[in-house]
């Protein structure tokens, strides 16, 4: 059986290593000539984390004592069976760990350009460094990210919404240490790191991962932005000042990057119309994207990969879509709920007061913790 995995992001690499573990040697094709340097996830959150421990990727840790949801701090120690595991790790490092565990080479600089599916195989056209070639595959799995060509080639839709009401800005900065250690002060503060804070003007968070610079993020609703102007650290500083209600001095990090500096005006929430079309399957961002609060996407994608690998090893993928799509639907719903809980206005104040009462109940906290843990 020839399984072609398209894309060597975290999900494609997880799938490759799970397949190798089950005795199937996949062919992994990756368009990029070398691993991407772009800064994405800072960690994995949820039920995939214990699976990473079982596979020896990280030393085992217990569940997280605290987390957040919709701008509420959660004390998970209140739960008898806390399902929320958090593994801090930069995405690049996770990819490199998964690549060394994959047990098969990643063919870099090999771009899949077309698929010709039939009932018992898929012909895969590839542009490689030495020219074009074709692979006769039993299955093709598109782990090729949000703009998935495999999804389009298989004729699968990607319905959903693009939320353009919110402007999100993030930057790596150097905050004065006193702010970080003594908690950031401001009207309504002091504010703790690693949480989303809602103010009358918007939402902000600040955090530090490892020894790197601080990461400041702001969300502002219904703001106008000239997208032709590149984002600057000063723009992020001004945004934080508006959201916090007072100015904060910080510096751009010195030394070699890459450093985060981004602005986003359209948050995508989309789910593939199916995870499978015959012998073409989707996993990870190719199947679902969401303006994730609390980092749900890696968890979702890694668990897609674990589920799909066991089905491919049995040569029966018939239940894959039914098994995995409900989990993504749940993440989309929770993202919408969190966006609603974070949005400005008196109606949200009322909704938050109600939600706080719900979280105070053991079953409320458990439901939210289960949602964060995903599956
Ligand atoms: C700024 C940012 C911060 C994030 N933070 C978090 C977080 O903290 N926690 C979290 O869980 N998630 C986070 N995410 C989301 C997470 O990064 C993604 O969910 C994850 O990268 C998805 O992995 P993937 O393997 O499905 O797709 P990708 O990582 O997009 O990988 C797809 C791969 O396919 C390759 N490819 C594409 N087309 C082809 C082709 N035709 N042929 C061959 N190869 C192809 C691409 O080159 C790429 O390497 C963040 C995302 C961003 C952008």
Over the stretch 338-361, which tens digit does the pLDDT of each residue have? 999 999 999 999 999 999 999 999
CB 366 within 8 A of CB 94: no
Full residue range of the structural domain in which residue 223 is found: 165-265
Kindly report which listed range (64-68, 210-214, 218-222) carries the lowest average pLDDT score. Answer: 210-214
Same domain? 186 vs 125: no
What's the CA-to-centroid distance between 316 and ligand 1, angstroms? 26
Are 181 and 124 in the same domain? no
| pLDDT tens-digit map of 277-319 | 999 999 999 999 998 788 899 999 999 999 999 999 999 999 9
Residues 221 and 304 in one domain: no
**Domain of 318: which CATH number?**
3.50.50.60
The pLDDT of residue 186 is 67
Boundary-marking domain end, from 218, 247, 265: 265
Q: Ligand 1 pocket test: which of 39, 89, 91 has the largest number of ligand atoms within 8 Å of its C-beta? A: 91
Give, using CA atoms, the residue closest to atom 8 of ligand 1: 41
Residue 120 C-alpha to ligand 1 middle, in angstroms? 29
Looking at the fold, whether 84 and 144 belong to one and the same domain comes out as: yes
* Ligand 1 nearest atom to the CA of residue 13, by list position: 25
Residue 217 above 90 pLDDT? yes
The yes-or-no verdict on residue 188 having pLDDT over 80 is no
Number of domains in the chain: 2
Distance 38 CA to ligand 1 centre (A): 10
Instruction: Name the token pair of 220.
Output: 């502002």
pLDDT band at residue 179, thresholds of 50, 70 and 90?
low
Whether the per-residue pLDDT at 100 is higher than 80: the answer is yes
Last residue of a domain, one of 265, 295, 317: 265
pLDDT confidence bin for 189, thresholds 50/70/90? confident
Q: Give nearest CA residue, ligand 1 atom 1.
A: 40
192 vs 320: which has the higher pLDDT: 320
pLDDT for position 295: 87
Sorted by sequence, the CB contacts under 8 Å of residue 256 that are 6+ apart come out as none
Q: Same domain, yes or no, for 148 and 289?
A: yes
CA distance 327 to 337: 15
Tell me, yes or no, whether 275 and 359 share the same domain.
yes
Same domain, 313 and 350: yes
Ligand 1: list residues with CB < 6 Å.
6-12, 29-32, 36, 40-44, 91, 111-112, 143-145, 149, 284-285, 295, 297-299, 301
What is the pLDDT at residue 180?
62
Task: Give the end of a domain, one of 265, 282, 313.
Answer: 265
Mean pLDDT, the chain, whole residue set: 93
């Amino acid at each position: 059986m020839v399984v072609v995995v398209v894309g060597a992001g975290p999900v494609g690499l997880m799938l490759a290593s799970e397949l190798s573990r089950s005795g199937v040697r996949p062919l992994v094709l990756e368009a990029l000539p070398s691993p991407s340097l772009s800064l994405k996830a800072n960690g994995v959150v949820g039920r995939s984390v214990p699976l990473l421990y079982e596979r020896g990727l990280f030393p085992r840790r217990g569940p997280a004592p605290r987390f957040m949801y919709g701008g509420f701090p959660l004390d998970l120690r209140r739960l008898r069976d806390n399902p929320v595991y958090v593994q801090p790790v930069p995405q690049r490092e996770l990819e490199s760990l998964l690549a060394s565990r994959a047990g098969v080479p990643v063919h870099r600089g090999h771009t899949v350009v077309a698929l010709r599916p039939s009932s018992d195989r898929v012909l895969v056209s590839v542009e490689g460094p030495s020219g074009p070639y074709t692979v006769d595959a039993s299955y093709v799995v598109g782990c090729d990210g949000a703009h998935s060509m495999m999804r389009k080639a298989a004729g699968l839709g990607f319905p959903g919404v693009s939320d353009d009401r919110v402007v999100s800005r993030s930057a790596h900065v150097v905050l004065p240490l006193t702010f970080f250690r003594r908690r950031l002060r401001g009207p309504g503060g002091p504010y703790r790191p690693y949480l989303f804070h809602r103010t009358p003007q918007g939402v902000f968070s600040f955090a530090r991962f490892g020894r790197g610079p601080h990461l400041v993020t702001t969300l502002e609703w219904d703001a106008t932005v000239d997208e032709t102007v590149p984002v600057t650290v000063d723009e992020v500083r001004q945004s934080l000042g508006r959201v916090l209600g007072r100015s904060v001095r910080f510096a751009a990090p010195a030394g070699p990057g890459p450093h985060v500096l981004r602005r986003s005006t359209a948050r995508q929430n989309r789910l593939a119309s199916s995870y499978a079309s015959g012998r073409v399957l989707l996993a990870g961002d190719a199947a679902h994207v969401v303006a994730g609060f609390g980092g749900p996407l890696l968890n979702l994608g890694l668990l897609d990969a674990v589920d799909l690998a066991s089905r491919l090893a049995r040569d029966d993928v018939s239940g894959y879509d039914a098994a995995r799509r409900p989990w993504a639907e749940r993440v989309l719903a929770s993202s919408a709920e969190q966006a609603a809980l974070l949005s400005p206005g008196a109606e949200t104040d009322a909704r938050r007061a109600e939600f706080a009462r719900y979280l105070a109940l053991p079953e409320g906290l458990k439901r939210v913790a289960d949602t964060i843990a995903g599956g």
